[in-house]
Amino acid sequence: MPVAMDNMRFFRAGPAALISRLCDVLKIAEIIDAVVDWDPAQCHLSPGNRVKALIINLLVDREALYHVERFYENQDLEVLFGAEQQVRPEDFNDDALGRALDKLFTSGQLKKLFSSIALTAAATHNVSIAGIHVDTTSISVQGAYDGEGDLDITFGFSKDHRPDLKQFLIGLTVNRDGLPILAQSLDGNSSDKSWYPQVIEELVQTFKPEKLKEVIFVADCALVTKDNLALLVQEEGNKPALQFISLLPENFGLNKEIKAEAFRTGTWQEIGKLSPKKDAACYKSQSFVREIDGRDYRLIVVHSTTLDKRKENSLLKKWAKQREVLEKAAKDLSRRPFACKADARKAIELFLREYRHQPFILKGTVDEEIVSNYYQGPEVIRALELAGFGKEIYLFPPRGGG
């Protein structure tokens, strides 16, 4: 039976249907509706479905909030939200979406919502979360931001190199493939050291004890403070000691001690190259067990040929600058006249004491030079030896007592 064209509606589906189905698989609307305070008798559409509508729009067209309603005028709402919902485009006006977002915020469950959805995704797709990586990044913003609201947008250490702008931080906990597990918005002047205890607490609340025993917590050196270490290894209630991998900070005296012992013993275990590139670095390591605050930790010293070369070049540049300064100072001293040998020797002693921390061997000698038939003197430093890089340099003043 023929159908009149004027009775048909055409939609540009795009990826909206696929995104909608993914939201349903992850149970995003169900999870939100379970924690948000709302009345089904008063609401034609749940806050969870309105948030789902925002997600679809963000991933398809990214309209401004007041244009989302217009976006859904050209979408098949029955496919996206089901025929039983009887959803209309006006259900997604900016007031309705704003109220849904307000309910989401006032629930106080944003962190729990994110982790619940992320863990549902991990379980649905059998994603491993045995190794988790934790770090923060800064988001710079324009504008005044006078400290209103629960998030303090202010100046802080800028990881995107914009110290002139105010910022807030995003703290993320991801698995080794980069799938976010936990997330949190942080004040612009927050530090990683103070945030890590919150992450540990959230992990304990999110994972069952048997799962926590399998998790390896990976973070930068800001994790390693005495308070954080005590929190990581503490066993109480349902919380087991957490396994972790981090970098031992330089302010721990054990850092230099272990590295010195590694080079002294020389019992390296060859790891080799981790990349097929021709100029890839070669690695080797040594393992030690040492005590920190009454508990044993395994410490691994890793040697990289690439890092070794970079440090060598850096040291050579640093020594070249120090050598230049020393040569100038030695030349200035060698040109100074002195009334007697004792004064000249005293000047050499002061010079050697001033530059005693330089990576060079310094030596000075005093010679007497006749500058007049009637007056014996002055005494001058005849040669000042400067040794470095396996070489010696002799600096002589010009004749004539200059």
45 domain-assigned? yes
Q: Are residues 154 and 49 in the same domain?
A: no
Residue 350 structure tokens: 């002061």
Q: Report the alpha-carbon distance of residue 111 to residue 126 in Å, rounded.
A: 22
Rounded to whole angstroms, how far apart are CA atoms 114 and 181?
A: 8
Residues 96 and 140 in one domain: no
Within-domain flag for 276: no
- Give me the domain span that covers residue 217: 124-247
Whether 299 maps to a domain, the answer reads no
Q: Rounded CA gap, 36 and 31, in Å?
A: 9
Residues 317 and 242 in one domain: no
Question: Cβ(134)–Cβ(173) under 8 Å?
Answer: yes
User: Widest CA span of the chain, in angstroms?
Assistant: 134
User: Do 212 and 145 sit in the same domain of this protein?
Assistant: yes
Six token digits for residue 359: 């990576």
- The number of domains in the chain is 3
Task: Check whether residue 129 and residue 184 sit in a common domain.
Answer: yes
Domain contains 313? yes
Same domain, 90 and 22: yes
Q: Report which of 398, 356, 355 is spatially closest to residue 380, judged by C-alpha positions.
A: 398
- The confidence score (pLDDT) of residue 120 equals 85
Query: Is 241 found in the same domain as 149?
Result: yes
- Looking at the structure, tell me whether residues 94 and 145 fall in a common domain: no
Which of these, 324, 320, 327, 323, lies nearest to 384 by C-alpha position? 327
Give the CATH number for residue 175.
Answer: 3.30.420
pLDDT tens for the chain, 402 residues long, are 555 566 677 767 789 999 999 999 999 999 999 988 888 878 889 999 999 999 999 999 888 898 999 999 989 899 999 888 889 999 999 999 999 999 988 888 887 888 888 888 888 888 888 889 999 999 999 888 876 667 889 999 998 888 899 999 999 999 988 888 888 889 999 999 989 998 888 888 888 888 888 889 999 999 999 999 998 988 877 778 889 999 999 889 899 999 999 989 989 999 998 888 888 889 999 999 999 988 999 999 998 888 766 777 777 888 888 888 888 888 888 888 887 888 888 888 888 888 887 777 888 888 776 665 444 444 444 444 444 333 333 333 334 443
Q: Are residues 137 and 69 in the same domain?
A: no
Q: Which of these three, 247, 277, 301, is where a domain ends? A: 247
Using an 8 Å Cβ cutoff, are 100 and 51 in contact?
yes
Residue 375 located in a structural domain: yes
CA 266 to mean position of chain CA atoms: 31
- Measure the CA–CA gap between 263 and 260, rounded to whole angstroms: 5
259 is a domain residue: no
- Is 173 in the same domain as 238? yes
303 within a domain of the structure (yes/no): no
Domain-embedded: residue 206: yes
**128 and 242 together in one domain:** yes
In this structure, the answer to whether residues 65 and 159 fall within a common structural domain is no
For residues 30 and 36, give the distance between their C-alpha atoms in angstroms, rounded to a whole number.
Answer: 10
Q: What is the pTM of this model?
A: 0.65
Q: Which of these, 45, 50, 48, 44, lies nearest to 31 by C-alpha position?
A: 48
In DSSP terms, which residues pair with 150 in a beta bridge? none
